[in-house]
Structure 1
């Protein structure tokens, strides 16, 4: 060793040399990472290049740490690991960055270096959440929380509460998640940390969405977006836009959902962030599949998969493979869909991910059913139903019930078919009720905000009016004091006071007129709200496609009429109408054509009903006609007329290669011996299945 250098100085020089070597090795190919206009294709290339560099950087760091560790000592090794962690994190390499920050935490614990330990724990939790390692994230966040409380570190305390809230939500502990996020929000606000506050508002909005408080969720997400805009930073705007888009997707506001998905994509492009672009593309692809735009869904899901595969995000690759399979099935490319769904199934089983596994099995079952392999379809769909029910995924679960009903009907298992039909109808009614409630909550939130703004403006005007009145009173008091003065001064003061009072009165009249105008506008807004409420109630009891009553309102009307018939000793009949071969019609011509068949057929039914009869949608392609006061003999010719008129009227839809007809099951209160509405509908159900078994396009009365 040269005599002129101390050992600590050698350590510092060695650390500088090693950090420089890491920079050179890690960024020797940074030219591949440059892009001034990020596109999905470029995002995939950037992500792949970043991962390659991250792997090389990690390898160099491990070699350097082993060779030069004794020379650097614990402090030097900690600083070297910290630089590596920052570099790996900037490259989006969560696994490699997590290793580096855990090394920083280990060295900091040995050195009792609290600032570096807090930083390492904070970054390690965020990286564990990004990888989906919730056990690791929970343990690290708990350590961060314990140390932050003990040392009184408010920002670290807030971060730990937020992380624990995210873990709790992803594990389904929603109330616990809400409590953590509320605590984090209070801490962020007490510290004046507006960027942290925006993050907590977004996380809290997601919790309220999962709790079903849709209006509060939308309010929090919009507040987070507005706060981030005021900060002047575009960071994480894409997450806010994407969360708002998902909320509008839930209430089927297609226009607003599209606008916010587009904004999320634009934000991720502007920030040159491949990972956020993949998230936006994947969510947008799922939405496009839901609204039937299979071509766009396929393109976006493939782009998202390419990026996530480069990053190594396997859960998202599995979800994107499911969306690719959905789009390919809709496009008629079943063999390609089968291959990609088999990949998704393997990923889902390995990761024990119910959403991926259930989705892949559902669409593999659909493919097997279209190929005529009913045993394989049944196995896939039964397992899918179990997994989707456990995960609470109601929309795909309803689709799985429909496919199982079709298989049971084709194989002659009428009881099983009826069971699946009832389960699907109940689930569809629940979905419709939930969606209507969310729409009402969103509408209520908008008008409550507008009403609050009107009230604030009105209160401000009232305060101004009160201030003018107080000023006027003060002037009058001053006038009384001046009356004791000399007569000449009194006359002068009187003149001045008169002019001021006159001016104040004019201002007061102007303010009163302004208040009256605001009150009139508020009354108009309230009247508009009442109109919207009436329209929303009508929408809540009506099937939007056919104009018939929806299931909930239909059942309430039937219960009321049944009680009346029983108390009055009268008969009552129901017709259960089922559109023949409706699944095949949808498969051959698409759901839009199927919707036209349902809407046209029910329009014909409504035209030919007798006064006092009503029709409602019972579920899917099943409708019920209620005939108060009619027995089976009186109802039969009406049913036959409806069947004939629908068959004639639907011939105008010449696209179909098969006749468009309906089968009708007839049941009356007396003939069926029913004591309850469930018994009466069950009798009609049996009758309509007999009609289908006898060849369809016919009316079959119930016979015990």
Structure 2
């Protein structure tokens, strides 16, 4: 096929590819524009789900008041419970109506879980029936166990609604990626409201039964306070311009003032009264009347965040429209430029470019065997080919230098961690490995052992046979110990004729058995010197273990060193363990 025809065919294929790419780009921008327009409904669904979760949490307050009252219940308490139930039912019904009235686009349908709403209806009906049955019983028959089970049933309702909130949040983030952090903070406020409600509900049983809080109740209160504080800090973590908005700052400040000061102080007063054995001075209904209003700033913060998300979503919709128009203009410009470029390339660049392409491909694949051809041309293509030749030479030099550098780095790393004489770890490397292993043992609540030993009468070996013989003794002992250890057990030369072994996590008895085995291996291995003399050397061992979060490697070495001193004092060639 002639080159001109081949170029025409290639140009046609290229034009089709570019048109396809531009079409795909324009279609994506169009879909983004449509999704941004319909994304407001997704945000509304998410807001409705958050409101439903909040109503479920709010319903627990009147429930606690009724369960702590006499029979028949105070009409005011009963009326508040009925209003709370009606508000919850209305919020769930509104959510369902909006789902049915304006279906979510197909691209987002998979992200919106409808199943949790069905499970929520069943669980809500069962929980309310249990509340009504228990409230109909005399107070004496409302045992703490039955009260706790009923309150726990109410607790289990909110996670079902929060599952729906999570799904709506993900769907909204698909349409508005830039508001993901705002939606996350709004989601955290829903969780904060839920755990704040749980903190108050944790006092239902003690207040209803007029009994002091048990130790498990105190532990639960501490857990809930910790979770609430964690959510508070997560909400306050800076994550963008939203954190500097005056409305957001004011809402956070009011939440701190009303709930974290007043609300939690009320819980603390009940807890202190329980510890002191004083009457609480209130029943569940009175507590709910004082505590529930303190949580309203949390919901106000949620609403402010959702309003900011709506405003950002509107800005994203406008940006999507501008980007669509820009994509149309850029697409038209690209098609025009492509047509002009093909006309120029047909006459001046095609063949030289193919030759240069082959050279670039060879260089990109690391093939430096052939230099680019045509480098003697006296034009721009020739300049490019000469530059490729220079690039080839520089790449070869860089490759060689990189290999040498990696080799040197590896060699320096080995030398830095290895004892020059015995070939085992040196003290620095062992200390680093020991600290790492000690931290792991502390986190897993395991026991870590250290075996410290040195050669008996090593100075006499040096004095009698010379330092070369002493070096041979150290090398031989290192080989014997290294061959006797298993995977996970490390050995190092700690200094002079002193060695240290750290087994895998084990107790004092197992470490002592390992030390005894090493002692026997050293004592049973004779060493033949270069001049024919046969030496039999022994070693004294000290064993120590550490356990717990406050264990320190220096303390462990010190304990092992004391045990080693006793082994030498008691006759050498023996194993002593820490006292």
- Bigger proportion of residues as helix: 1
TM-score, length-scaled by structure 2:
0.33
* Structure with more contact order per residue of length (Cα contacts < 8 Å, sep ≥ 6): 2
TM-score, length-scaled by structure 1:
0.27
Report which of the two structures shows the higher radius of gyration computed on alpha carbons: 2
